[in-house]
Amino acid sequence: MPVVHAAGSRPGRPDAADPVGEFFTALGRQRHIATFERESATLRFDIADGERVRRWLVIVDNGTVAVSHRNGRADAVVRMRRADAEAIVTGRINAQAAMLRGLIACQGSVGALTMFQRCLPGPPDSTGRVAPITSEQVMAERRPR
């Protein structure tokens, strides 16, 4: 499946202080994402920056991903403020929590947004590691009961 970008609307080089632009550009560059195999959905992200709204259209088609600024019909239209979007694409806020909190508004398919969340990064300070705990430590914690 070829990657489709609308003519003339391919995202340009993001400037350094634009994590949202960097995220979407990197996403489009990946082109194929395993967790999106056999998934198809179009999402439009409207990111409000003061009066200005920056638009990103993400087309997922059986694992291939195309990203542009095009306008178009989308299964889910997702609106949020730039500051919140930056926190989400850098893993500082969890997207599901943001939605429950009212930071993200989703019109249309919640399923499409749930799927999309699978390509978001985890918190920057998460290491996946934890120091082992000995039996003695566990017992000491329980003893004063």
Partner 1 sequence: MSDGLVQILEGNTFVVSDERGDIEASPTDSTGLFSFDTRFLSRWVLTVNGQRLNALSTDDLQYFQARFFLVPGTGTVYVDAKLSVIRLREVADGFHEEIRVLNHENAPVDLKIRIDAASDFADLFEVKDALAKKGQYQARAEGGSLVLAYRRETFGRQTWISSSEPATIDEKGLSFGITVPAHGEWMTELNVVAAGEAPADSTAGLAGPAGHGHRHRVRRDMARGLAKWIGRAPELRCDWEPLERIYRRCLTDLAALRFSTLTMPDRALPAAGLPWFMTIFGRDSIFTSLQTLPFCSELASTTLRALAERQGTRIDDFRDEDPGRIMHEVRYGELTAFEERPHSPYYGSADATPLFVVLLDEYELWTGDTRLVRDLEQAARAALNWIDEYADLQGNGYVAYQRRNATTGLENQCWKDSWESISYRNGDLPGFPRATCELQGYAYDAKVRAARLARVVWKDPVFAARLEEEAADLKRRFNRDFWVADGGYFAVALDADGRQVDSLASNVGHLLWSGIADKSKARSIAAHLLGPRLFSGWGVRTLAEGEARYNPIGYHVGAVWPFDNSFIAWGLRRYGFREEAACIADGILGAAEVFDGRLPEAFGGYARSVTRYPVRYPTACSPQAWSTGAPLLLLRVALGLEPSGDNLMVDPALPERFGRLELLDVPGRWKRVDALGRGRVDTSRLLRR
Applying CB under 8 A, the residues found at the interface with partner 1 are 34-35, 37-38, 48, 77, 79, 81, 91, 93-94, 96-97, 100-103, 105-107, 109-111, 114-115, 118-123, 125-130, 132-139, 142
From residue 27, give the alpha-carbon distance in Å to each of 50, 89, 107, 108: 25, 11, 22, 22
Smallest gap from Cβ 16 to partner 1, in A, equals 24
Smallest gap from Cβ 134 to partner 1, in A, equals 4
CA distance 125 to 111: 28
DSSP of 50-79: TTEEEEEEEEEETTEEEEES-----SEEEE
In terms of CB distance, is 16 or 34 closer to partner 1? 34
In terms of CB distance, is 13 or 35 closer to partner 1? 35
Smallest gap from Cβ 91 to partner 1, in A, equals 7
In terms of CB distance, is 65 or 115 closer to partner 1? 115
- Sign for the pseudo-dihedral over CA of 57, 60, 61, 67: positive
